[in-house]
């Protein structure tokens, strides 16, 4: 009974702690701040996609250790791709 009550309270707290206000909007002071933020988001996205792809291929090829190595290799490839795109003006 005690565990049931504790589980209910914990689940209610977790439910309400994840709810965010509808009007949660990020405001940037200048257009430059907005562009800088977008550049960082694009970099994180490219590196993350590369890491996920490398980890998936590594997991298929070599299990857990292969996934770790593939993730690192994929993240490196994503970073190189991001640098290439930024060098050519594609932010």
User: Each residue of 26-35: pLDDT tens digit?
Assistant: 777 898 888 8
Single pTM value for the model: 0.63
Q: How many other C-beta atoms are found inside a 10 Å radius of the C-beta of residue 8?
A: 10
pLDDT beyond 90 at 81: yes
Torsion of CA 33, 34, 39, 44, to 10 degrees: 100
Confidence of residue 20 (pLDDT cuts 50, 70, 90): low
pLDDT beyond 90 at 77: yes
Burial classification of residue 68, based on how many CB atoms lie within 10 Å of its CB (0-12 exposed, 13-18 middle, 19 or more buried): middle
**What pLDDT score was predicted for residue 22?**
59
Average pLDDT over residues 60-70: 92
For 39-78, give the DSSP string.
HHHHHHHHHHHHHHHHHHHHHHHHHHHHHHHHHHHHHHHH
Where in the sequence is the domain holding 43, given as residue range(s)? Answer: 2-87
Average pLDDT over residues 13-23: 68
Q: How many domains are there within the chain? A: 1
Average pLDDT over residues 17-29: 68
């Amino acid at each position: 009974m005690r565990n049931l009550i504790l589980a209910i309270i914990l689940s209610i707290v977790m439910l309400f702690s994840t709810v965010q206000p509808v009007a949660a909007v990020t405001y940037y002071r200048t257009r430059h701040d907005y562009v800088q933020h977008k550049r960082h988001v694009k970099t994180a996205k490219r590196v993350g996609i590369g890491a996920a792809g490398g980890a998936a291929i590594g997991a298929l090829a070599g299990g857990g250790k292969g996934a770790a190595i593939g993730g690192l290799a994929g993240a490196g490839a994503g970073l190189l791709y991001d640098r290439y795109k930024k060098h050519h003006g594609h932010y």
